[in-house]
Amino acid sequence: MAAIGFLEFNSIAKGIEAADAVLKAADVRLIMARTICPGKYNVMFSGEVAAVQASLDAGKAVADRFLIDSVVLARIHPQVVQAIHAATLPENPGAVGVMEFFSITAAVYAADAAVKAAEVTLIDVRLGAGIGGKSFVSLTGPVAAVSEAVKCGINAAGAQGLVVSSVVIANPREEIYRSLL
Domain map (residue ranges) of the chain: 3-74, 78-179
Task: Give dist(CA 33, CA 15) in Å, integer.
Answer: 8
Longest dimension (CA), the chain: 48
Q: 3-74 falls under which CATH superfamily?
A: BMC (bacterial microcompartment) domain (3.30.70.1710)
Does the fold of domain 78-179 match that of domain 3-74? Answer: yes
Q: What ranges in the chain are assigned the alpha helix state H?
A: 12-25, 49-63, 78-85, 104-117, 143-154, 174-179
Q: What is the model's pLDDT at position 1?
A: 55
Task: Give dist(CA 9, CA 62) in Å, integer.
Answer: 11
Average pLDDT over residues 60-73: 92
Average pLDDT over residues 18-46: 91
What is the tens place of the pLDDT at every residue in 157-166? 778 788 999 9
Q: Is 79 exposed, middle or buried (0-12, 13-18, 19+ CB in 10 A)?
A: buried
Name the residue with higher pLDDT: 31 or 22: 22
pLDDT band at 72 (very low <50, low <70, confident <90, very high): very high
What is the tens place of the pLDDT at every residue in 102-161? 888 889 889 999 999 999 999 999 887 667 778 899 999 999 999 999 999 999 877 878
Closest CA to 17 of 36, 41, 38: 41
Specify whether domain 78-179 bears CATH 1.10.10.10: no
